[in-house]
Amino acid sequence: MIPSSDSHGERAAQAVLVSLQLPGVSNAELEASLDELERLAGTLGLCVVARITQRRNRSGGAAVLGAGKLRELARLTGGPGRVPLGAARRQKGAMPADDPDLDAEVGADFELDFAAEAGDDDRDLVDEDPGKKNRPTVVLFDHDLTPSQLRNLEGATEAQVLDRSSVILSIFQRHARTREARLQVEIARLNYLAPRLRGSHVSGDRMRGGIGGKGAGESALELDRRRVRDRVAELRKALVDVQRDAEVRRARRSRVDAVALVGYTNAGKSSLMRALTGTDVLVEDQLFATLDTATRMLQPPTQPKILVSDTVGFIKKLPHDLIASFRSTLEEARTATLVLHVVDAADPEWRSQFHVTRTVMGELGAGESPSLVVLNKSDRLDAQARVALAAQMPNAHLMSAHRPADVAGLRSRIIAFFERDMVEADLFVSYSSQMLVHTVYETCRVLSESYDEEGTHLRVRAPSTVVEDLQGMLTATPKA
Ligand SMILES: Nc1nc2c(ncn2[C@@H]2O[C@H](COP(=O)(O)OP(=O)(O)OP(=O)(O)O)[C@@H](O)[C@H]2O)c(=O)[nH]1
Ligand SMILES: [Mg+2]
């Protein structure tokens, strides 16, 4: 596991953050990205004690950092501070035994332990040396690292080294609660590890993630690859089954007005979900608190009812596989009639966060739905900032999820959005298909109802698409 503080108050493991300032990256952007990495570290229970940055033209090289910076890093963590000659063949710490029963793990309850893969042997190493007790034991890079860079850095620092993608994957793994989310995270994790298996037949590589392979050579590597492929295939099959059920639920709801809350992680989506629907979805001052989509009815109920969905948040440099694996979760956003793009307006970085969310939504094919920008956390802004924001984004909804009056205002705006597209119509339901009366009540506001010898006449108000669908269904039903 990544060492972390436990509930008994044990001291949190210390971490050092490292970032390169590549050409075109301003000081402010660099700091903001490191602030975010620090929050990600905090979510994993790590305590950040130092930051190291270096201006470089590219993130290549055997150890990413220049020789001097690498020594500076190693002075904090311990370790030789240089990439040993032939580092790729580092023999230190024989790898933990191969997982003897991978298949059992696949079939089991997906009790996955991504974080376990990188740490155990190093932690032992650190614990053995009392001189290192108070040193940082983890180094987090704000970039992605190649397997050999990772190996070299671990050799030079004698600390556990994680790149940004694996930090995010670890958080996702810890927070995934439903079977669907767990399956999605596990597939993403294996896809992340798969390319790193190439060349990982060299003994000492620790990015195998318990997939196996003792580093005995090419045949073991081949075996690893096949096992990964087989496991991904198996997980995908399980995921298809789970998603089929979700698809059925979505289809059943397809004629109902739906609002999806999307946005950068920690923007306040779940807080708004709570406030709008009166349900107790998880709200945490943490990145990626929500990984599971929840759908609830807008409260107080409307006629016809409006459904609200909470979704997984976005972040800069989100690993692509992770986005792909959460595509289905984000179906809610893609199929929603109205997307509420929630922004933490009190975060100085909100503009770039807004841009990231828009871009990823576009990539997911969910950028076309009508949307309303919700500038949340206005209670954290002073009056002057609020006025400036309102002038800058006149169509956005400036509010605080913590203020009931603001939430009521947002509710009215949601209702008004759906109302705009509503038409009045007369529907006739014959006695032979009376179950459709229930559907009419589910999807329309019924203004009046009367009966004659053939069936029920209903005067309704509903979105034009709903009326059209209902008329199609009713004419297809033979009259008694
Ligand atoms: N001051 C203030 N805090 C807010 C507001 N809305 C949410 N928060 C806080 O912001 C933090 C994150 O809120 P969540 O609702 O969990 O955010 P989220 O967008 O669902 O986050 P993820 O699920 O992690 O992506 C929590 O500590 C909330 O209490 C607001 O309007 N004002
Ligand atoms: Mg949430």
Give the domain ranges of the chain: 14-236, 254-419, 421-476
**Contact 266 CB / ligand 1 (< 6 Å):** yes
CATH classification number, 254-419, choose in 3.90.1640.10, 3.40.640.10, 3.40.50.300, 3.40.50.720:
3.40.50.300
294-297 and 306-310 as β-strands: parallel, antiparallel, unpaired? antiparallel
SS3 state of residue 28: helix
Nearest-10 Cα torsion for 35, 145, 362, 39: -20
Q: Give the ligand 1 atom nearest the CA of 289.
A: 24
* Pairwise CA distance, residues 165 & 192, whole Å: 8
371 Cβ inside 6 Å of ligand 1: no
Tell me which residue has tokens 């006025």: 387
Q: Which residue has the higher pLDDT, 118 or 154?
A: 154
Distance, CA of 96 to CA of 120 (rounded, Å): 9
**CA–CA dist 87, 79 (Å, integer):** 13
Contact status, residue 345 vs residue 376, Cβ threshold 8 Å: yes
Tens of pLDDT, residue by residue over 176-192, are: 888 888 888 888 888 88
Cα–Cα separations (whole angstroms), residue 274 to 143, 262, 289: 35, 14, 14
Q: State the average pLDDT over residues 408-420.
A: 94
Here the tokens at position 389 are: 């924001």
Q: Give mean pLDDT, residues 307-314.
A: 90
Give backbone dihedrals phi and psi of 5, rounded to 5 degrees, phi first.
Answer: -70, 150
- What are residue 51's DSSP bridge partners? 17
CA of 293 relative to ligand 1 center, distance in Å: 16
Kindly indicate the confidence band of residue 93, based on its pLDDT and cuts at 50, 70 and 90: very low
Place of tokens 């990188």: 118
d(CA 39, CA 18): 14
- At position 351, the amino acid (one-letter code) is R
Provide the β-strand partners of residue 163.
141
Check pLDDT > 50 for residue 175.
yes
**pLDDT over threshold 80, residue 220:** no
Token pair, residue 251, equals 């289809």
Quote the ligand 2 centre to 287 CA distance (angstroms).
8
pLDDT at 291: 80
In the predicted model, what is the mean pLDDT of residues 67-82? Answer: 93
The answer to which of 248-252, 277-281, 295-299, 443-447 has the lowest mean pLDDT is 248-252
Is the C-beta atom of 43 inside 6 A of ligand 1? no
Q: What percent of the chain has pLDDT over 70?
A: 79
pLDDT tens, position by position, 109-122: 222 233 333 333 33
At 222, the pLDDT band (50, 70, 90 cuts) reads confident
How many whole angstroms separate alpha carbon 88 and alpha carbon 5?
A: 32
The mean pLDDT of 325-340, rounded to a whole number, is: 78
pLDDT score of 140 more than 70: yes
Q: How far apart, in Å, do the first and last CA atoms of the chain sit?
A: 68
Question: Residue 406 CB: number of other CB atoms within 10 A?
Answer: 20
Tally of CB atoms within 10 A around 238: 19
Phi/psi at 188 (5° precision): -60, -40
Of 243, 236, 268, nearest in space to 330 by CA: 243
Which pair of structure tokens corresponds to residue 243? 């998603």
Q: What is the pLDDT of residue 477?
A: 54
Rounded distance between C-alpha atoms, residue 415 and residue 305, angstroms: 10
- Residue 131: CB atoms within 10 A of its CB come to 8
Residue 160: in which H helix or E strand, if any?
Answer: strand 160-163
311 CA to centre of ligand 2 in angstroms: 7
Mean pLDDT for 211-235 is: 70
Q: Which atom number of ligand 1 is nearest to the Cα of residue 342?
A: 19
CA 7 to ligand 1 centroid distance, Å: 23
The DSSP element (H or E) to which 343 belongs, if any, is strand 338-344
Q: Which of 271, 272, 291 to mutate to test the pocket of ligand 1 (most atoms within 8 A of CB)?
A: 271
Say if residue 391's pLDDT is above 90: yes
Amino acid at 413: R
Ligand 1 pocket, residue 271 CB under 6 Å: yes
39: Cβ below 6 Å to ligand 1?
A: no
- Model confidence at 131, in pLDDT bands (50, 70, 90)? low
Strand partners, 454: none
Confidence of residue 84 (pLDDT cuts 50, 70, 90): low
Ligand 1 within 6 A of CB of 203: no
Nearest CA to ligand 1 atom 6: 268
Residue 126 has pLDDT above 60, yes or no: no
Please tell me the number of the ligand nearest to residue 269's CA. 1
Is residue 329 within 6 Å of ligand 1 at its C-beta? no
Most confident of 68-72, 184-188, 313-317, 361-365: 68-72
Select from 39, 40, 265, 266 the residue to mutate for testing ligand 1; criterion: most ligand atoms less than 8 Å from CB. Answer: 266
Token look-up 């090419």 returns 218
Instruction: Record the tokens describing residue 465, joined without a space.
Output: 């698409």
The whole-number pLDDT of residue 109 equals 29
Specify the higher pLDDT residue, 439 or 198: 439
pLDDT at res. 4: 47
Mean predicted confidence (pLDDT) in 394-399: 96
The protein residue whose alpha carbon is closest to atom 26 in ligand 1 is: 285
Condensed to tens digits (0 to 9), the pLDDT of residues 226-271 reads 888 899 999 999 988 888 877 777 666 666 788 999 999 999 999 9
What is the mean pLDDT of the segment spanning 360-384?
A: 90
pLDDT at 76: 96
Average pLDDT, the chain: 81
Cα–Cα distance for residue pair 259/472, rounded to 1 Å: 25
Q: Which residue has the higher pLDDT, 383 or 173?
A: 383
> How far, in Å, is the centroid of ligand 2 from the Cα of 225?
35
Looking at residue 210, the DSSP 8-state letter turns out to be T
Instruction: Read off the amino acid at residue 316.
Output: K
Cα 171 to ligand 1 centroid, rounded to whole Å: 17
**pLDDT at position 249:** 73
Inform me whether the pLDDT recorded for 450 exceeds 80: yes
> Over the stretch 55-65, which tens digit does the pLDDT of each residue have?
999 888 888 99
Give residue 163's pLDDT.
Answer: 92
Q: From the CB of 152, is ligand 1 less than 6 Å away?
A: no
pTM of this structure:
0.78
Does this chain's domain 14-236 share its CATH topology with 421-476? no
Q: Whose CA is nearest to atom 21 of ligand 1?
A: 266
| Top mean-pLDDT range of 16-25, 86-95, 256-265, 427-436 | 16-25
Sheet holding 14-21, edge to edge: 47-55, 14-21, 138-141, 160-163
Q: Which of 174, 274, 282, 284 to mutate to test the pocket of ligand 1 (most atoms within 8 A of CB)?
A: 284
Q: So what CATH class is 14-236?
A: alpha beta
Structure tokens, 198? 């190439």
Distance 275 CA to ligand 2 centre (A): 13
Whether the CB-CB separation of 400 and 406 falls below 8 Å is answered with yes
CATH of 421-476, one of 3.30.70, 3.30.160, 1.25.40, 1.10.730: 3.30.70
The pLDDT of residue 61 is 86
Where do we find the tokens 């016809």?
Answer: 304
Q: Helix, strand or coil for residue 91? A: coil
Q: Please give the helix or strand (H or E) that residue 42 lies within, else none.
A: helix 27-43
Dist. CA 119–CA 207, nearest whole Å: 10
Q: d(Cα 307, Cα 467) in Å, to the nearest integer?
A: 18
